[in-house]
């Protein structure tokens, strides 16, 4: 260990073993202050190497963190430098300025005021004239204040980045670094999303398999057995994505399948800003409420038809294809059937032969909470099939397709568009009148400037609302045309219905909302209004 020194002359007598530390974050590169090359990694290195040479010090190593934020100290080169300090290889750390060491004023202060002194390490920030071993240097007293300013700068940059991303998202620009499996970015326009036909059929197959009644695990097993490349491996091989988990086995699993089945990007909708950082100092992200996410409908070509996606979503929400216990048996109406008490119905084999319905509450808590139902699986399916046949014959006809509800929603949206257009036009007239009042001397320049600024901000808000409504209107128009064709296909399937089986399971979910069992009696809640 080295002794502390009381004057500058004695500092010159020590053989200083120097660590040159340089850092530049992606946010710094984008900021006006750092444009040009003044703060580039290479310029920092060249500048600090000259300082080391001019003072006759020994350069031990250069520690470079390129692309790492200063708001936390989980940086590979910085951590390597700390290891070398612990091993006694270094006794002086030098940076171009204090912000290169870090921008979090608490942690930066901890290193400068506590850690470096405890290890007898001299720290120099050249441009800030900070030298922790020069006791005559008054700039050392300013270190805490500079750290706070650097922290505030980091907060400001973070706020600017968030605002920029929000603006781009509202305008329909794709701000995703990597697109989900099945899509790719246009090489000529990074904001344009294209279907990746190399793997798009795999996505279609996943939806078809789930819709036909296969579980997520069964789909994953099938894809693994077929040696279909996984989304993560495909991304590693076709993009510059860095996978930190080098031991990944690249296997399909239920989690991956579930993520694909629930992603709205496959119907052409762009959903952005689904997650946000807790704050500018913490990397942890939290999910943004659905109503606050930015959604642009029909933004890009779809891989999956919207009707198929909605059916699959309903099946997922009701967990119709998942069963986790050995005494439960897969059954055709899983997720639709409930006991009168409100709990789900599960199926269990009686003596290994006949499958019977069991109330979940009865099974868990006994007769005090619910009486058990007394109907077998085959009885239930027969009753539901018979009811379906009768209602299809009674209520369905190809001539009865009705889009009044969709038209109503479209008309309401159109009324909103007219409303906000009128608001915008009124605002433009107000601004125009203000110009005339200013020219006539009716209002002062300060009042004019203040009012115009206020109304221009309102105008931007109206324009953003109009853009979202117009996108929604375009989506509704497209959906109306698409639904006509889809409904005709669905109607053909309905009219050809004979019995409930694995192949028409998704059709049953389009027609039935809920089946309630009261002992041996059943009541079926239909949702024909959605189809008709």
Report if residue 152 sits inside a domain.
yes
| Residue span of the structural domain in which 191 resides | 171-317
Report if residue 331 sits inside a domain.
no
> Residue 428 is encoded by which pair of tokens?
């433009």
Q: Is residue 285 domain-shared with residue 214, that is, in the same domain? A: yes
Q: Count Cβ atoms below 10 Å from residue 4 Cβ, excluding itself.
A: 11
Asked if 115 contacts 106 with a C-beta cutoff of 8 angstroms, the reply is no
* Sign of the CA dihedral with 437 first, then 438, 444, and 445 last: positive
Per-residue confidence (pLDDT) for residue 412, from 0 to 100? 67
Among 89, 95, 85, residue whose Cα is nearest residue 52: 95
Report if residue 330 sits inside a domain.
no
For residue 189, CA distances in Å to 185, 192, 194, 298 come to 7, 6, 10, 18
Under the banding of pLDDT at 50, 70 and 90, the label for residue 323 is: very low
Give me the chain's average pLDDT, please. Answer: 76
Report if residue 189 sits inside a domain.
yes
In this predicted structure, which of 289-303, 315-329, 441-455, 513-527 has the lowest mean pLDDT? 315-329
Residue 148 sits in a domain of what CATH number? 3.40.50.1390
Q: Is residue 178 domain-shared with residue 198, that is, in the same domain? A: yes
Under the banding of pLDDT at 50, 70 and 90, the label for residue 501 is: confident
Q: How many domains does the chain have?
A: 4
Q: Is residue 50 domain-shared with residue 84, that is, in the same domain? A: yes
Kindly calculate the radius of gyration of the chain based on its CA atoms and give it in whole angstroms. 33
Residues of 119-156 as b/e, b for ≥16 C-beta within 10 angstroms?
bebbbbbbebebbbbbeeeeebeebeebbeebbebbee
Report if residue 3 sits inside a domain.
no
Q: Which residue has the higher pLDDT, 486 or 256?
A: 256
Q: Is residue 392 domain-shared with residue 274, that is, in the same domain? A: no
Q: Is residue 365 domain-shared with residue 260, that is, in the same domain? A: no
Per-residue confidence (pLDDT) for residue 7, from 0 to 100? 47
Q: Is residue 99 domain-shared with residue 14, that is, in the same domain? A: yes
Under the banding of pLDDT at 50, 70 and 90, the label for residue 485 is: low
In this predicted structure, which of 383-397, 458-472, 484-498 has the lowest mean pLDDT? 484-498
């Amino acid at each position: 260990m080295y002794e502390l020194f009381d004057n500058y002359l004695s500092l010159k007598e020590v053989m200083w073993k120097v660590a040159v530390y340089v850092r530049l974050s992606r946010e710094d590169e984008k900021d006006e202050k750092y444009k040009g090359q003044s703060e580039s990694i290479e310029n920092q290195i060249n500048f600090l190497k000259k300082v080391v040479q001019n003072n006759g010090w020994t350069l031990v190593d250069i520690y470079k963190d390129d692309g790492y934020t200063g708001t936390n100290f989980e940086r590979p080169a910085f951590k390597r430098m700390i290891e070398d300090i612990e091993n006694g290889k270094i006794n002086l750390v030098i940076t171009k300025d204090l912000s290169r060491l870090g921008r979090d004023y608490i942690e930066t202060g901890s290193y400068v005021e506590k850690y470096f002194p405890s290890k007898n390490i001299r720290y120099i920030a050249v441009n800030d004239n900070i030298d922790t071993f020069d006791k005559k240097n008054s700039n050392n007293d300013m270190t805490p204040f500079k750290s706070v300013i650097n922290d505030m700068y980091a907060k400001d940059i973070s706020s600017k980045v968030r605002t920029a991303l929000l603006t781009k998202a509202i305008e329909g620009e794709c701000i995703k670094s990597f697109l989900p499996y099945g899509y790719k970015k246009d090489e000529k326009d990074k904001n344009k999303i294209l279907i990746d036909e190399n793997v798009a059929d795999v996505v279609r197959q996943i939806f078809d398999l789930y819709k036909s009644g296969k579980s997520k695990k069964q789909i994953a097993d099938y894809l693994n057995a077929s040696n279909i490349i996984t989304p993560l491996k495909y991304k590693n091989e076709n993009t510059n994505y860095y996978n930190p988990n080098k031991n990944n086995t690249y296997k399909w699993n239920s989690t991956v399948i579930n993520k694909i089945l629930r992603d709205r990007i496959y119907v052409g909708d762009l959903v952005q800003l689904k997650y946000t950082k807790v704050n500018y100092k913490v990397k942890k992200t939290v999910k943004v409420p659905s109503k606050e996410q930015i959604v642009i409908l029909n933004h890009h070509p779809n891989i999956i038809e919207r009707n198929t996606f909605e059916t699959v979503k309903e099946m997922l929400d009701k967990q119709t294809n998942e069963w986790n216990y050995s005494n439960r048996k897969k059954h055709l109406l899983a997720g639709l059937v409930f006991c009168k008490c409100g709990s789900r119905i599960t199926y269990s084999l009686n003596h290994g032969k006949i499958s019977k319905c069991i109330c979940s509450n009865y099974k868990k808590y006994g007769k005090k909470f619910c009486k058990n139902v007394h109907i077998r699986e085959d009885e239930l399916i027969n009753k539901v099939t018979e009811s379906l046949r009768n209602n299809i014959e009674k209520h369905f006809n190809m001539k009865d397709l009705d889009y009044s509800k969709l038209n109503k929603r479209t008309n309401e949206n159109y009324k909103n568009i007219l409303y906000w257009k009128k608001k915008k036009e009124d605002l433009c007239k107000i601004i125009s009148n203000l110009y005339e009042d200013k020219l006539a001397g009716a209002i002062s320049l300060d009042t004019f400037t203040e009012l115009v600024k206020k109304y221009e901000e309102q105008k931007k808000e109206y324009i953003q609302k109009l853009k979202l409504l117009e996108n929604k209107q375009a989506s509704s128009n497209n959906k109306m045309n698409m639904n006509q064709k889809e409904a005709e296909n669905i109607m053909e399937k309905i009219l050809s219905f004979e019995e409930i089986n694995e192949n028409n399971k998704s059709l049953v979910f389009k027609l039935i909302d809920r089946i309630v069992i009261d002992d041996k009696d059943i009541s079926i809640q239909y949702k024909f209004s959605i189809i008709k």
